[in-house]
Amino acid sequence: MSSGKKDELNRNMTLRVRALESLLLEKGLIETPAIDELVDMFENRLGPWNGAKVVARAWNDSEYKQRLLADGTAALAEMGFDTIQGEEMVIVENSPDTHNIIVCTLCSCFPWAVLGLPPVWYKSAPYRAEAARDPRGVLREFGTEISAGTELRVWDSNAELRYMVLPERPPGTEGMDTEELAKLVTRDSMIGVSKVAPPSAA
């Protein structure tokens, strides 16, 4: 879309949303502070840094990792990450033999309690279609290599059940503490479209 068309779309949509918001405010059905709070929560307080902490702890604490894999919901709650709508969480572990990737083919269900809101591509029609049909193609589009012998598992999320990938710990991270490890873990590696890169030499 050209930037002119995009501006027009944004102007148009701004009016449409403002119309609904002002109508609901007039009827006393919403209040501005509540709207602002919701925006702040989703824009600033939820994000992949939460999931990264979980991954880092699992890498350094094998007992926590076992609990995480056995009951994701409970193990996340241990770290204070509650699923906001009461959905269950299942954590799936990547290894040299198995690579996991998550999708929501029907809409955009995403483990946002630990990863924040999903990227635009995750919610897009091409991803929703292709992840189910050709996950190796998806990985190629993201520039991620996995060997032909690695089993690839695709997890289709739904409203009641969400997934997060526990990515493989990269080489060169021996002895790193959880805070340092967490800095390496990307949102995309917890979706499964990429791997966690080894720490750079610098």
Residue ranges in 40-79 that form contacts with other proteins under rule CB under 8 A: 42-43
User: How far apart are CB 196 and other proteins at their closest, in Å?
Assistant: 17
Q: Is 178 helix (H, G, I), strand (E, B) or coil?
A: helix
Residue 166, SS3? strand
Binding to other proteins, residues 6-25 (CB under 8 A)? 10, 13-24
Instruction: Please tell me which residue in 22, 95, 107, 124 is annotated as part of the active site.
Output: 107
166 DSSP β-pair partners: 93
Among 159, 179, 183, 198, binds other proteins (CB under 8 A): 159
Q: Could you give the CA distance from residue 152 to residue 136 in angstroms, rounded to a whole number?
A: 8
Among 51, 116, 135, 167, binds other proteins (CB under 8 A): 116
Q: Does 112 bind other proteins (CB under 8 A)?
A: no
Burial 114-138 (b: 16+ CB within 10 A, else e): bbbebeeebeeeebbebbeeebeeb
Residue 107 a catalytic site member: yes
Tell me if 138 sits within 8 A of 154, measured CB to CB: no
Among 2, 3, 4, 29, binds other proteins (CB under 8 A): 29
Q: Which of 69, 79, 117, 152 binds other proteins (CB under 8 A)?
A: 117
Q: Per CB under 8 A, does 144 bind other proteins?
A: no
Paired with 100 in beta bridges are 153
- In the bound state with other proteins, the residue whose beta carbon lies nearer, of 125 and 201, is 125
CA 78 to chain centre: 19
Closest CA to 128 of 191, 43, 73: 191
Q: Residue numbers of the site for other proteins (CB under 8 A)? A: 10, 13-24, 27, 29-30, 34-36, 38-39, 42-43, 85, 103, 105-108, 116-117, 119-121, 123-133, 138, 141-142, 156, 159
